[in-house]
């Protein structure tokens, strides 16, 4: 775990100890020396040093060839709970590029700030959004941090189709690969010929998330590889009955 920085120090000195605890003395010192002078006054005014440590980790991953990165911080509370979504890229982008993804994940943006750093001669662009869930009464965004970040990375990388079925993630907690099961069945159904639109079929599930979750659990129980359920009758009795 990364402990809090010493708040008695100047801002640019505060990330050093957390970096050393996170990465080891030598690597932490190297990262602090690399980044201590790179963060603008605006960044220092808006971002706590302990979150700068997380920004540094994502930027380092990107520099190591990891491609564009996402991170999520929070939850924070003002008038309503929210999280901050961080997006890191070597290419400058606009909110319009990400909004279609966020909308189909039932996420709303209440503010945005942008930062630019030059690390080893390369420009790094950071977009930071305040995110709120569009689904009431469900798990907090922070509880779904991993599946949300995985889905965003898959959407950005083109591995995941951006459609209404992604709205299932927040109310069900399913991962994007699990939601893809419904997409596969939907596509097979349309190949056979369907009188319904894809949107109508998607919203039949979205408006009934618990039923969607039960359907996925049934699919998982029916097809998940499990040696002790190799006999169909045993699987039927233990899992499906």
Tens of pLDDT, residue by residue, the chain (241 residues): 555 656 678 999 999 999 999 999 999 999 999 999 999 999 999 999 999 999 999 999 999 998 999 999 999 886 778 999 999 999 999 999 999 999 999 999 999 999 999 999 999 999 999 999 988 765 678 999 999 999 999 999 999 999 999 999 999 999 999 999 999 999 988 888 878 888 999 999 999 999 999 999 889 888 877 777 777 777 777 666 5
Q: Which of 158, 156, 201 is nearest to 182 (CA)?
A: 201
Q: What is the pLDDT of residue 68?
A: 96
Q: Which residues make beta-bridge pairs with 76?
A: 82
Q: Which of 195, 200, 203 is nearest to 166 (CA)?
A: 203
**Largest Cα span, the chain:** 68
Question: In the chain, where does DSSP find H-type helix?
Answer: 16-23, 25-35, 41-46, 49-61, 95-104, 145-157, 169-172, 176-192, 198-206, 209-223, 232-235
pTM over 0.85: yes
Q: What is the pLDDT of residue 239?
A: 66
Distance CA 29, CA 140 (A): 35
Question: In 193-235, where does DSSP find H-type helix?
Answer: 198-206, 209-223, 232-235
Q: What is the pLDDT of residue 198?
A: 87
Cβ neighbors of 190 (< 8 A, separation 6 or more) are 198
Q: What is the pLDDT of residue 241?
A: 57
Q: What is the pLDDT of residue 31?
A: 94
């Amino acid at each position: 775990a990364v402990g809090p920085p010493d708040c008695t120090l100047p801002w640019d000195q505060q990330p050093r100890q957390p970096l050393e605890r996170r990465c080891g003395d030598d690597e932490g010192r190297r990262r602090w020396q690399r980044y201590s002078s790179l963060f603008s006054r605006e960044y220092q005014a808006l971002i706590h040093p302990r979150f700068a440590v997380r920004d540094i980790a994502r930027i380092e991953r990107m520099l190591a060839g990891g491609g564009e990165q996402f991170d999520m911080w929070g939850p924070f509370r003002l008038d309503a709970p929210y999280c901050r979504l961080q997006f890191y890229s070597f290419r400058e982008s606009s909110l319009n590029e990400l909004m279609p993804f966020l909308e189909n994940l039932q996420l709303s943006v209440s503010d945005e700030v942008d930062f630019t750093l030059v690390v080893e001669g390369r420009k790094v662009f950071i977009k930071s959004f305040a995110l709120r869930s569009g689904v009431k009464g469900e798990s907090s965004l922070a509880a779904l941090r991993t599946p949300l970040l995985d889905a965003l990375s898959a959407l950005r990388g083109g591995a995941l189709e951006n459609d209404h079925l992604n709205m299932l993630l927040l109310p069900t907690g399913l991962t994007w690969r699990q939601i893809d099961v419904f997409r596969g069945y939907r596509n097979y159904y349309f190949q056979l010929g369907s009188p319904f639109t894809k949107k109508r079929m998607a919203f039949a599930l979205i408006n009934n998330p618990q039923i969607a979750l039960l359907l996925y659990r049934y699919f998982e129980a029916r097809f998940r590889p499990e040696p002790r359920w190799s006999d169909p009758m045993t699987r039927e009795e233990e899992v499906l009955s």
